[in-house]
Amino acid sequence: MDDFFKPKIMYPNMTKFLPFYYDTRGFYQNDKSFMITGSKIAFLTAFLNSSLFKFCFIDNFPELQGGTRELRKIFFDKIQVLQPDDTTEQHFKQLVDDIQAEYTKEKAIHIDNEIFALYNLTLEEQQTIGFIEIK
């Protein structure tokens, strides 16, 4: 029960959109969603919502009828994620808080560009990935 009150990432079991929500307010969830707790989860939220994640890993999640994807833990376990330092985590916390307060495509692209920079992607790699908005 304590995990509900910790900062966490909330996400649905099945979705078309790959939405990951950073919760610091202690929301409860039902059995149709999952949560991730731990350290550096603001950065992880940004990464999971990024075009880099969608480009590289969308095919790792089984597609169901209607174009939805099943987002189970076993599919996440194989994905290696950069471990940010505390300063980077705090920076991404501000970015995530801002975009969750008011989403704009420009904010999402800005976060993508910051993720690209952390992963040292070349301009060509960034252009290949582009901005991915799952509709």
Q: Is residue 34 part of a domain?
A: yes
Domain span at 122: 2-129
Angle at 4 between CA 84 and CA 34, to 5 degrees: 75
Which residue would you say has higher pLDDT here, 40 or 65?
40
Indicate whether 76 belongs to any domain: yes
Q: Taking residues 30-37, what's their average pLDDT?
A: 83
What's the pTM value of the predicted model, to 2 decimals?
Answer: 0.86
Residue 46: both structure tokens together: 């940004």
**135 within a domain of the structure (yes/no):** no
- The reported pLDDT for the residue numbered 134 is 67
Residue 92 lies in a domain: yes
Instruction: Provide the pLDDT for residue 80.
Output: 85
Q: Please state which of the ranges 49-58, 73-82, 91-100 shows the lowest mean pLDDT.
A: 73-82
75 within a domain of the structure (yes/no): yes
Overall average pLDDT of the 18-38 stretch? 85
Establish if 134 belongs to a structural domain.
Answer: no
Residue 118 included in any domain: yes
Pair 43, 89: CB distance under 8 Å: yes
8 beta partners = 23
pLDDT of residue 1: 57
Q: What percent of the chain has pLDDT over 90?
A: 53
| Residue-level pLDDT at 62 | 76
Q: Whole-angstrom Cα distance, residue 42 to residue 46?
A: 6
End-to-end CA distance of the chain: 34
Q: What confidence score (pLDDT) does residue 60 get?
A: 78
pLDDT digits 0-9 by tens, 46-72: 999 999 988 888 777 777 887 788 777
Check whether 124 has a pLDDT greater than 80: yes
Domains identified in the chain, total number: 1
Mean pLDDT of 73-101: 91
Would residue 10 count as lying in a domain?
yes
